[in-house]
Structure 1
Amino acid sequence: MDRFVFNTAKSIRFGTGTFDELAELVGAQVGDRIMLVTDPGMMATGMVERALKQFRDGGITVELFKDVEADPPEHVVLGAVAAARSAGVEGIVGLGGGSSLDVAKLVALLAPGTETLADVYGVGKARGPRLPLILVPTTAGTGSEVTPISIVTTGASEKMGVVSPVLLPDVALLDPALTYGLPPHITAATGIDAMVHAIEAFASASPNNNPLSRMLATQALTLMGRSLLKAVHDGKDVEARSDMLLGSMLAGQAFANSPVAAVHALAYPLGGHFHIPHGLSNALVLPHVLRFNIVTTPGPYATLAPFVFPELSAFEGQERAAAFCEKLADLSRACGLPQNLRAMEIPRDILPKLASDAMNQTRLLVNNPRPLSEADALSIYRAAF
């Protein structure tokens, strides 16, 4: 067996009602002066006020940073870091979707002042130390609560990653009840995003693709395969919401250690140029990237197929892998997601620019099971158009 490294959050708390234990957890593990990092959408849900009341009742002073944007640009990260330093906080709590959690990680890393954002872009550049960090996801998609990754928009459209085990939180607190209010289209897009994490982790060409990640990926896909449509069509289905949140976390643990590949590399330019939500960007290119990959590497996808779609066990090899691609496309359609780039009003003449930008995602492309050129990327975008 090849050598590998597997890192994850120090502690994971999962279960309905765990959100009500947040202040107690903060008091015991962080301190009495914290920053809560969130976004304007979360402010409208009442969850932030629930957290603030807990903190007030527990004698915890809170610096609230509520200005996180989707695909957070550098100025948002730097603004939050400046506010944390000015307030002299002892630790960070992130509450929300992937963008809020990503910003919270970077605030915890950069607030001590030993590193700058420009210094830590890339893999393994961030060294720490960081402030204590607790992450509370409110969507079942990114898995950011258990990943050592933060994605930042640099310039007008480019995205860069900070990747380091230092970003893994001290506690990931997952309460399925926080996801009950997610509208169907967000449930669908974030759910497909989580499934992409598991699929790409399992098939990754990374030298660190490992048995633990593959095991977590198959369990994640089993949970999400049986529950995504239920969660989309009945947001109050407690079992489906729990399956999706746990599945998302397991997929996050998987790809945190066996990194994702071309689906994400081609999705990032869509978000950067057109501000398409990340999960939807993944969904738009997923079947087309997989159809490209199975030409030379059908094995991982044939293995995964029955975990998501048990009926595909009747097929074998290349036929099963091809059927997997089509069933994933059908699932996206059944979830009510847009099915092509035209539906997102993306002009055809920008496809070469998207392909060129995708090639900058070398951190991801090296993990694709089939080598992918700029011409291949353009062909995939054309197929998705």
Structure 2
Amino acid sequence: MSHPDQRALEADATVHAPTPRLLNWMQTHRGGIALSVTIALASSFLAEHYGAPAMLFALLIGMAFNFMNDMPQTAQGISFCSRTLLRLGVALLGLRLTFADVSQLGITPMVGVVAMLVLTLIGGVAFARVFGRTTAFGLLTGGSVAICGASAAMAIAAVLPRKYLKEEDVLLTVVGVTAMSTLAMIAYPVLFRYLGLADIESGYMIGATIHDVAQVVGAGYSVSDTAGDIATFTKLLRVALLPVVLTAVAIIFRKEAGGTAGLPWFVVAFIVLMGVRNLVPLPDGLLTHVNETSRFLLVVAISALGVKTSLQRLFAPGVRGLILIAINTLFLLLQAIVFAHIFLL
């Protein structure tokens, strides 16, 4: 028979022991998380010693470990880092951005984001018709380029009636827009620097043109912290327009948009934290700690994104299958360059 004190200790241990669900989650995710964190630490070390952007190192090193993306020991952890940690890091960026930062953009660039989004959607439909594709496919490709890449593609595909869209079309769009966004993350900062844009303008252009949130963050902070902050804010303006586009697509096809029209949680959190940052006095030490945490989470997320990036798979559908998405991407870039020369320079 157990002693009363022993039973008490066993009961206390049971209360504080991790639940089976938590243990299972840790077992399935720890390998991928450990890999992503290790790459992030190595990238940060190289960035400090060689002066190159940590996120670029993270992407390139991560790509070298692409073979681990499909391993059962690491797959789920990598996906967790590339999605959940990315969104958490972006949400925490709300504490970095002040109204003064946003006011540097002014109302004209914000209107420009809306105008470029609308024109890219129209262009997507027009280009699709030229290529002999349907209006639905044009909205899918144009919307993924105009808003937030693969996430927008999946959301728009959920709204479009199945009879107008094949699963292969969705897969092609996701692959194509991911490929274009990854290439843009590397090329656009160099291009905008060549065009003579300052950090604020470069951040705006990056946020207005690159498709996925992860690549916007990586490209923006590879230029500077200021460019990264502005790029993130500009990008989230585009993401915030996703419900509007989904509603419009649903009306066009006379279908219900269902529950897909809500704002993503990390966009809501970003807005709330930005409000807190500007309305509530916060200790500098806290802000510094949160900023460092946010930045490291983003480096971890970019590391995981690099592991998930396979150049062979990105271009597997062939060059012809990517032409339409590439045209949409270049059309958006051209709009942004013209806008910058008229209103920003």
What TM-score does the superposition give when structure 1 sets the normalisation length? Answer: 0.27
Bigger strand fraction = 1
Which of 1 and 2 has higher RCO (CA within 8 Å, sep 6+)?
A: 2
CA radius of gyration, larger in: 2
